Chain A
C-alpha cells in the first residue's frame, strides 16, 4: 500500500484524500438525514460552489506566492454592484462587455493590492486588510445606499446561472457551475503547463532563491494579484447573476471562506505548493458540510458555525499529519538508500587503500 502511495506525487495524493473525505461526508449525512442523497443536493451545492470555486482559485494564485488576499470579499461586492448598475443604466449591453467590465474592475483592485505588496513591500496581510475596508467603503459611497434589484436586470443575465445545460436524473448541470469548472480547469492547465507559472511556485517556495535565480519577483507577485483580482471580478459577475439583488453587504465574509476552501484543498498557506483543482474540491467540501448541517436536525443553527470550524480544523490537521508521516517515511527510505551507498563506496575505497 505504502509503495503505491509512494509513487503518487503529493498533490495527486491530496486530491485523492479530499475525494475520500467528500465521499465520507456524503455517506455520514445520508445515514443521519432522511432523503439526503438526491439531485437537489447536487444542484444546490453546485450553484453556490460556482462562485466559491472562482474565489478559491483567485485566492490560491496569491497564496502560492506566499501572500494572501483578504480584500476579495469586498472586491466581489463592489464589482457585483458596479456591474449591476452598469447594466441597469445600459440594458442593451451584451454579456461579453459586461464580463470584461467585471474582470477589468476586479483586475484594477488586484493591481492596487499587487502594487502595494510587490513594489511598496508592505506585507500582503496588512495591505489587503486595509483594502478590505477601503473597497467596502468605496462600495458604500458609490452605491449611495441604493441597491441593485433583480427587476432591473435583463432576462438573459438573471436566467444564465440556472440554465440547465444537460441533465442526468435529477442532477442538473447548470451554466454557472459548468463555466466555473471550465475556468478552474483552464487555470489548472496554465499553472501546470505554462513555464511562467512555475515562477509563482518558485517565489512561494523560496523567495530569496527566486531573487538569486534572476526571477523578477516583484513583477510576478504583482501579476498574481492582478489575475486574482480579475478572477474575483468574474466571481462578482456570477454573484450578480445568481442573486440579482445586490446591497452594500454583498460578498461580506467571502474572503475567509475562500482562504478556508484553499487551505482545506491542500494549498500550503506558506506558499510554494497547491493546486486549483484542490481548491475547487476544498470549496465543494466546505459548502457540502455547510449545506448538510442545515438539514441535520441534531445541530442547531447556533452550533453550525462551530461544527464547520471544527471540521475545517480536523481536515487540515489530518492532512498535515498524514502528509508529514508519508513524507518522513519516504525520506527515511531514501536516507537509508543513500547511507548504504556511502558505506559501500567507503568500503571499496578502504579496500583499495589497504592493498
Chain B
C-alpha cells in the first residue's frame, strides 16, 4: 500500500479531568474513504478538531507524509491540505458563493478579481456536479448547496485529507446520494476522505475501511468487507441494542386527546385534519419543505393558524401563544436544538427547569436551586444523559445528550400531548433507540405523541398512524398496517395522481 498521508500516533486529549481521547491511532491513505463511527460523545469531534488544528493534543503526534507535524491552527491545517466540512455548514450568510469559496485563499493577490474568481468558482461547483449560481448570497442556499460551497472551498486549495462530519444528516435522500458520489470521486482522485455518519447503510455504500471508536478509545479498524452492521453497532455501543426498528404494538386508547379540524395558515398549509388518541403515536412524514414543522408550530401557538379548530380533550382552544398551548397540556420538542430549544451556555439544570420555573419557586418566589438540581439529577439517570455533572453548560454535551436534555425539559411539564420534531436527527444508533423507547413509554403511560421525522424506517417503526404531507397539503393518513416506504414516498412526492393515471 502507498504511504499514508496522515497518521495519528497515540493521540490523547484531556479537558481538565475529562479524557476526550485516549491513545488513539489512525492511518489515512490516499484514495480511501475511511468511515469513522462511534456514539455521540465517543470523541469523533475532538479528533476532527485535533486534525484541523483547532485543538492541540495533550499527548501523541500527528505525522504528515511520514514526518511529525504540529498543526498550530486551522490555517496551518489548510496549508497541509487538511479540510473539514460539517453537518451545519460553516458558510458566511452575507457573502456570495464565490466569496465564500475564496475567503481564505492565499494566492489571489491584493485586489479581488470578481470575474476571474467567479469563473473559477463555477468550475469548482461544476466539478462536484452542482449548478448553484455563484453570485447568489449564501443565506439563500439550501443546506446541500451550502455543503457544496464548503467542499468547493476545500477543493480550491488542493485538499489532500477531507473530513466530512455527518454531511448527510440534514439532507434529503436525493441530495445525500449526490454527496456520497462527490466523496467517492474525490477519493478516486487520490484524496483521503474521512467520513463520519450515523447512517449505517451509507457507510456500507461508500467506505473502504471502518474505524470504530468508543469513549475516546480506538476499538477497531477493518476493511468494509469484514464488517457486519450488527457487529459494528455492538462495537460502537458496547452492548447489544436489539432491533429498534421493529414496530412496537400500539397502545392507543379510545379517548381523543387532540382533534385538528381544517387547520389552515394561509399561504403555508391548508386543511390539516386528524384526530390523535391517548396512547397513540402519529408520525408526520414528508420531504423537506412539506411544511410539517409549520403545522406543529401553529398547534403549539408560535405561528397561530388563520382558520380551523384545535380541540384538546373535547374543548376548543384558541392557541395564539406557546403559553396557551402549554396550559392546554401541549409541548413541542423542536428540531433545531441550537436555535429554538436550548440555552447552550446555561447549565443542564437550568435548561431542564426553564419551561416549568413556576414549580421551582419557594413560598417567597425565590428559585429553589436544590429542587432544580434534584429534578435534573433524576432525569440524568432516567434518560441516561451522559455527563459528570448537571451544572455543566449544555453546549458542551454531544448532540444525543443535548436531545435528551430537551426531552427532559418538556417531560418535566407532564404534558398530555407531545410534539417531537425530528427527535433523532444527527444522533447515534444507541441514543436513537433510547429516544424511541422514551416516546413509546410516554405513549404507553397515556400520553399522545406526534413525531415529525424524515427517517422512513423510523416513521414505520414508531407510528401507529402516518400522516403524509406535501407542500402544505395533507396527502393521506395511513395506518401502520397499510404503510410502506414506497407508499409514503409516493404520497410525499405527489406521484399519486401520475401513478394512477398511467
Interface size class of B (residues with CB under 8 A): 35 or more
- Decide: A213 and B153 in contact? CB cutoff 8 A: yes
Given contacts A209-B91, A335-B289, A342-B287, contact A214 B78 (CB under 8 A): yes
Chain B residues with CB below 8 A from A216, complex form: 75
Does A3 lie at the interface of the complex (its beta carbon under 8 Å from any beta carbon of B)?
no
- Decide: B174 and A343 in contact? CB cutoff 8 A: no
The chain B residue sitting closest to A197, CB to CB, is B112
Give the most central of A195, A199, A268: most B CB within 10 Å: A195
Does B142 lie at the interface of the complex (its beta carbon under 8 Å from any beta carbon of A)?
yes
| B493 touches which of A195, A208, A346 (Cβ 8 Å) | A346
Give the most central of A199, A206, A330, A335: most B CB within 10 Å: A206
Interchain nearest-CB distance for B74 vs A (Å) = 4
Does B52 lie at the interface of the complex (its beta carbon under 8 Å from any beta carbon of A)?
yes
In the complex, A347→B496 CA distance in Å? 11
- Decide: A342 and B172 in contact? CB cutoff 8 A: yes
- Decide: B92 and A210 in contact? CB cutoff 8 A: yes
- Decide: B103 and A345 in contact? CB cutoff 8 A: no
The total of Cβ contacts below 8 Å across the A-B interface reads: 92
In the complex, A343→B52 CA distance in Å? 38
Does B481 lie at the interface of the complex (its beta carbon under 8 Å from any beta carbon of A)?
no
What is the 8 Å Cβ interface bit string for chain B, positions 159-185, against chain A (1 contact, 0 not)? 000000000000010100000000000
Given contacts A215-B103, A331-B140, contact A201 B75 (CB under 8 A): no
What is the 8 Å Cβ interface bit string for chain A, positions 323-355, against chain B (1 contact, 0 not)? 000010011001100110011011100100000
The chain A residue sitting closest to B75, CB to CB, is A214
- Decide: B104 and A213 in contact? CB cutoff 8 A: yes
Does B108 lie at the interface of the complex (its beta carbon under 8 Å from any beta carbon of A)?
yes
- Decide: B103 and A272 in contact? CB cutoff 8 A: no
Interface size class of A (residues with CB under 8 A): 35 or more
Give the most central of A10, A192, A205: most B CB within 10 Å: A205
Chain B residues with CB below 8 A from A342, complex form: 172, 174, 287
User: B residues 48-79 with Cβ under 8 Å of A?
Assistant: 52, 54, 73-75, 77-78
Chain B residues with CB below 8 A from A146, complex form: none
Does A194 lie at the interface of the complex (its beta carbon under 8 Å from any beta carbon of B)?
yes
Does A235 lie at the interface of the complex (its beta carbon under 8 Å from any beta carbon of B)?
no
User: Which residues of B pack against A, CB within 8 Å?
Assistant: 52, 54, 73-75, 77-78, 84, 90-95, 99, 103-104, 108-112, 137, 139-140, 142, 153, 172, 174, 287, 289, 471, 493-495, 498
List 20 additional A-B contacts (Cβ < 8 Å) besides A195-B108, A201-B92: A9-B137, A10-B137, A193-B111, A195-B111, A196-B110, A199-B103, A201-B99, A202-B99, A206-B91, A208-B90, A210-B92, A211-B74, A212-B54, A214-B73, A215-B104, A268-B94, A330-B140, A342-B172, A345-B174, A346-B493
